[in-house]
């Protein structure tokens, strides 16, 4: 079975502070990991995926297979980063995604 855990439902930081949104997963094979973001009143959109190893809007995430984690990081948070963030996993056998419970990030001025 595949499972994604985001331990923090709410995370609040001040503008300019570093932010880390935690994501842990369990999967028996080699998964693909994603971060999706949902801004207020908008649809869910892909932020980044581990195989791309890219930085989007200053966010990065590294897949740590030893710790089965895929934490999302940004060195200097901005107010516009306030949103709901979902970590998601996709197994190698198909295209379905398993989502974590989500973390609501609030960046205070």
Partner 1 sequence: GAVVSQHPSRVICKSGTSVKIECRSLDFQATTMFWYRQFPKQSLMLMATSNEGSKATYEQGVEKDKFLINHASLTLSTLTVTSAHPEDSSFYICSAYGYTDTQYFGPGTRLTVL
**Binding residues for partner 1, per CB under 8 A?**
36, 42-46, 49, 86, 94-102
9 close to 106: Cβ distance less than 8 angstroms: no
CB closer to partner 1 out of 57 and 75: 57
Write the secondary structure of 11-32 as one string of H (helix), E (strand) and C (coil).
Answer: EEEECCCCEEECCEEECCCCCE
DSSP state of 79: G
Q: At closest approach, how far in Å is the CB of 59 from partner 1?
A: 17
Q: At closest approach, how far in Å is the CB of 69 from partner 1?
A: 18
CB closer to partner 1 out of 42 and 108: 42
CB closer to partner 1 out of 31 and 102: 102
Q: At closest approach, how far in Å is the CB of 98 from partner 1?
A: 8
The number of angstroms, rounded, from the C-alpha of 31 to the middle of its chain's C-alpha atoms is 15
Cα 102 from Cα 22, distance rounded (Å): 10
């Amino acid at each position: 079975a595949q499972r994604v855990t985001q331990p923090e439902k709410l995370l609040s930081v001040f503008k300019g502070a570093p932010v880390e949104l935690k994501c842990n997963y369990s999967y028996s094979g080699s998964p693909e990991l994603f971060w999706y973001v949902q801004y207020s009143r908008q649809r869910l959109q892909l932020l980044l995926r581990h195989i791309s190893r890219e930085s989007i809007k200053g966010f990065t995430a590294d897949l740590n297979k030893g710790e089965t984690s895929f934490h999302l990081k940004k060195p200097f948070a901005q107010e516009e980063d306030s949103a709901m963030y979902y970590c998601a996993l996709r197994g190698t056998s198909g295209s379905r995604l398993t989502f974590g419970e989500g973390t609501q990030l609030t960046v205070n001025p």
